[in-house]
Amino acid sequence: MGQPLQKTRRWRNPERRVTSNVDSAISFSPDGRQFVYQRGSGSVVEIRIEDADGSGDRLLANFQGAAADSMPGAAWSPDGRSVAVPVWMVDKKPGNILYVVSTSNGNVRELYSGNREIGRPRWLPDGKLLIVRYRSLTIKSPLGSSC
């Protein structure tokens, strides 16, 4: 189960719970009024948007057949019209997919798929390019050791 998201206004004010069951890093909209995050359970990963105060929770998209234990987080585009989100689809080959999801209607577009694990994407300020970290899922053993 995901972690709660806490909010504090100033150093000495108490924390206030904004939302629960956040399973990834969050990303704020360009105007700072909303945030996006991933929530997973079993083989379903949801992309959710909430207002910064924790109200207005809505499901943006969900992915059936996804690995709920691999959610590095979505990234909101600089123009606010889409989020980029990596999802590991366990029933697809290749299964590591980078999707772009429209924030207005939830339309999903596959941007990249491969066999390498995809980290949390980052948009360049002009919104024309994404930078992602990826790594090979192949485990290599040093010479002379046994697996």
- pLDDT tens, position by position, 29-60: 999 999 998 888 888 999 999 998 888 899 99
Quote the pLDDT of residue 144: 44
Predicted model pTM: 0.79
Q: Which of 5-19, 80-94, 109-123 has the lowest mean pLDDT?
A: 5-19
Which residues, other chains included, contact 87 with Cβ-Cβ below 8 Å and sequence gap of 6+? Answer: 45, 63, 66, 67, 71, 97, 99
**Nearest-angstrom CA–CA distance, 147 and 145:** 7
Q: What percent of the chain has pLDDT over 90?
A: 41
- pLDDT confidence of residue 133: 84
> Taking the CB of residue 106, how many other CB atoms lie within 10 A of it?
14
* Res 84: pLDDT: 95
**pLDDT score recorded for residue 76:** 94
Mean pLDDT for the chain overall = 83
User: Which of 20-24, 52-56, 141-145 comes out lowest in average pLDDT?
Assistant: 141-145
CATH homologous superfamily of domain 3-129?
A: TolB, C-terminal domain (2.120.10.30)
Residue 92 three-state SS: coil
DSSP H or E run through 36: strand 34-41
Per-residue pLDDT averaged across 6-30, rounded?
A: 71
